[in-house]
Chains A and B, each alone.
Chain A
Amino acid sequence: MIEQVCLNELLLESAKEIFETMVFMDLAECTEPAENAEDCALLGTITFKGALEGCLAFCCSVPCARAIAMNMLGIDTSEEIAEEDVCDAIGEICNMVMGSVKKRLAESAGNLEVSIPSVVSGRQLKNNMGEGSHKTTVKINIEDEYVTELSLLYHENSN
């Protein structure tokens, strides 16, 4: 059994690694109530299977997603960015954060097989994995401007 507290830290550390290296934006855990949760309108997800099976999700507002994509691509704020590029960037965030999570879980969970990410308009990751599943969510403040959510929904696989 993987401790939820450990997973919270692991998700946060993984996100920090990616945002510091590839996005060039400051990130910190958000301890305030999630009053901005309704702003979350883009949901990036990536699934994994192995000793643990489930889904990692990153949820943020459209303005936040645009800011992330522009930073990743080095685009000036006065320039335009295509919606496709914004979605693609959020998918890559999921992919890279999942890669970091996978690396950090390798010792306790072994090798996890990871899917290709997908991005949809949405607000909440619903748990439909049935009994025995767990959900860990970390609220993350980006650049003191955007509140986002990073979630890990999983169950331990007995196969």
Chain B
Amino acid sequence: MSKSLLIVDDSATMRKIVMRTIRMSGLDFETTEEAGNGVEALEKLSAGPVDIMLCDVNMPEMSGTELVKEVRKLSDCENTKIIMVSTESSQELIDGVIADGANGFITKPFTPEKFQEKLSPFMN
């Protein structure tokens, strides 16, 4: 079944690297959108939900942790799977963001295999 993806990261380069790594992982998305921060992401989601959102943590305007809380308030996005992608890897942060509604966490540096492992459960 075709899935939609939203990549949220303030670095355009990192968004491209994430897309490249997903291609290398063999995962296939019907649509892929990008947002540079949490506010932009919410604007994109207001036009329609996505199946999977990959989200950085440290971003200007609205951080990834704030974004998770906002997305979980949107009834349209209750089925959206949120995977955080960050250099931050403290267990406290991971536990907190999972408690707020994220579905997984990928730490940078990452590999195609890591994306395959974390996203595959949500692809069917």
0/1 interface trace, chain A 14-46, chain B, CB 8 Å (1 if under): 000110011000000000000000000000000
Contact between chains at A69 and B13 (CB < 8 Å): yes
Residues of B within 8 A of A85 (CB): 12-13, 16
Contact between chains at A99 and B88 (CB < 8 Å): yes
Number of A-B contacts (CB under 8 A): 62
Contact between chains at B90 and A99 (CB < 8 Å): no
Residues of B within 8 A of A69 (CB): 13
A88 interface residue (CB < 8 Å to B)? yes
A84 interface residue (CB < 8 Å to B)? yes
Known contacts A72-B17, A73-B17, A84-B12; decide if A22 and B109 are in contact (CB<8 Å): yes
Binding site for A on B (CB under 8 A): 10-14, 16-17, 20, 58-60, 86-90, 92, 107-111
Chain A residue nearest in CB terms to B12:
A88
Contact between chains at B11 and A91 (CB < 8 Å): yes
A10 interface residue (CB < 8 Å to B)? no
Contact between chains at A22 and B87 (CB < 8 Å): no
0/1 interface trace, chain A 49-90, chain B, CB 8 Å (1 if under): 000000000000000000001001110000000001100110
Binding site for B on A (CB under 8 A): 17-18, 21-22, 69, 72-74, 84-85, 88-89, 91-92, 95-96, 98-100, 102-103, 106, 111, 114-116
The answer for the CA separation of A92 and B17 in the assembled complex, in Å, is: 11
The answer for the CA separation of A89 and B11 in the assembled complex, in Å, is: 8
Contact between chains at A111 and B90 (CB < 8 Å): yes
Residues of B within 8 A of A115 (CB): 58
